[in-house]
Structure 1
Amino acid sequence: MTPGPLRSAAALFGLVALALTACASPGTTTPDAVSPSTAATATTAPPTTATSAPTQKDVMKIEIRISGQLFTATLADSAASRDLVAQLPVTVEMVDHGGVEKTGPLPSPLSLEAQPAGADPDVGDLGYYAPGSHVVLYYGDQSYFTGIVVLGRMEGDAAERIAEMDGPVTATLAIAGS
């Protein structure tokens, strides 16, 4: 071969590489060099995520005492939950509503920052009813309702035990272990 055809082949290979680079989809990696050996080794790294497992400090547990019984709840990390913790310890006079929940007024309203307009709490959830500034213990099936904020979850058989408590109760909420 003469130098002319080599130069033409190299120019053609460069144009093909340039065309492939221009047509590449966003987010794909193209080789920096135009040699077949480097092109074969180029890869695209999988995307990374910035998620991490919750640490011990992210988990906030509270105790709820009613009629000599102790219940534990784990709070979600939210502005409303942090506001609740700031009010603890607190004693709340609670009444039954609809055979599915016990509710009672808190001394101060909780933040609704980053909360949806309402929620559909599950049996065993600890909630907040914003229009009345009430803490709520769900022991029955409550459907979606505007103004409900789920603060966390009661542990074990708490919902069943609370369901067995007839009438009004006095509940004391405190940070677990305090």
Structure 2
Amino acid sequence: MINLQIGERNLTAELEGNSSAQAFLELLQEGPVTVQMHDYGNFEKVGPLPTSLPENNQQITTEPGDIILYQGNSITVYYDVNTWNFTRLGRVQGVTQQELKDILGEGDVAITFTLSNS
């Protein structure tokens, strides 16, 4: 499990069981990662990671709350659906689609990813 700090809100996410999620976990073991994210396509927030991670791309349809690795060096948090060749890193737990949209807001947002026990 990892945490996503978005403004005053703290969300938790469960990681996938793939080498991409494992590499992301190892990155977070070095310390928090804050990503400046912008809206894209009215269905996701996307921003650059400080390093590239291995990809495990599959043709998938995202769901609200999916955390996706895009092109190995960007991270996205989906608040709607999209179908593409992606690597799922994890999924935000315990929020509805509308709650997630409200938390992420309309414009740019900073999300700090941390280990859940830190």
From 62, 77, 87, the counterpart of 1:149: 87
Give the corresponding residue for 2:67.
126
TM-score by length of 1: 0.59
Query: Quick one: higher RCO (CA 8 Å, sep 6+), 1 or 2?
Result: 2
Q: Given the alignment of the two structures, is residue 172 of structure 1 paired with residue 112 of structure 2, yes or no?
A: yes
Higher share of residues assigned helix: 1
The answer to whether the Cα contact below 8 Å between 2:62 and 2:80 also exists between their aligned partners in 1 is: no
Give the corresponding residue for 2:99.
161
Alignment of 1:94-105 (within 5 A): 94-105=37-48
The alignment-based identity, stated in percent, is: 29
| Coordinate RMSD, CA, aligned | 1.5
The answer to whether the Cα contact below 8 Å between 1:71 and 1:158 also exists between their aligned partners in 2 is: no
Q: Which amino acid aligns with 1:94?
A: M
Q: Which runs of no fewer than 5 residues in structure 1 stay unpaired? A: 1-60
State how many pairs are aligned.
Answer: 113
Give the corresponding residue for 1:47.
none
Indicate the SS of the match to 1:162: helix
The answer to whether the Cα contact below 8 Å between 1:138 and 1:159 also exists between their aligned partners in 2 is: no
Indicate the SS of the match to 1:153: strand
Q: Which runs of no fewer than 5 residues in structure 2 stay unpaired? A: none
Q: Structure 1 residues 158, 174: CA separation in 2 closer, same or farther (over 3 Å shift)?
A: farther
TM-score by length of 2: 0.87
Give the CA deviation at 1:158: 5.8
Q: Given the alignment of the two structures, is residue 90 of structure 1 paired with residue 33 of structure 2, yes or no?
A: yes
Q: Which amino acid aligns with 2:68?
A: G
Moved over 4 A (4+): none
